[in-house]
């Protein structure tokens, strides 16, 4: 059960997790809340059907739950002081799509 769209892998709770890269063509973000602040990435996931979450803080996954993680590919990410620049322009092809699942 996918409960969130995130800009990176977020695991605020101890547990056992699996993560796998998936084809974006096989994904639907329709009706899933997102927790993404980066302007370009936010626009892209909203065009794919995700909507802004009510809270800015992701509570974490319960066992059996999944999140779609949409980081900027390492080769495309221009970082400053360990953070992605807010004004960095990215396209759909610059993003990587992964499923993060909490096993237990």
pLDDT tens sequence across 2-14? 999 998 888 889 9
Share of the chain above pLDDT 70, in %: 86
Q: Domain containing 18 — which CATH number?
A: 3.40.50.11170
CA proximity to 40, closest of 92, 94, 89? 89
Q: What is the pTM of this model?
A: 0.84
The boundaries of the domain holding residue 62 are: 2-102
Give the pLDDT of residue 78: 54
Count how many domains the chain has. Answer: 1
């Amino acid at each position: 059960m996918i409960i969130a769209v995130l800009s990176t892998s977020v695991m605020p709770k101890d547990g056992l997790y699996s993560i796998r890269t998936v084809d974006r063509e096989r994904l639907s973000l329709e009706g899933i809340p997102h927790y993404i602040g980066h302007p370009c990435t936010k626009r892209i996931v909203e065009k794919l059907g995700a909507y802004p979450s009510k809270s800015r803080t992701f509570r974490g996954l319960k066992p059996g739950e999944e999140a779609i993680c949409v980081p900027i590919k390492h080769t495309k990410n221009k970082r400053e002081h360990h953070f992605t620049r807010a004004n960095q322009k990215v396209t759909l092809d610059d993003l990587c799509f992964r499923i993060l699942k909490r096993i237990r």
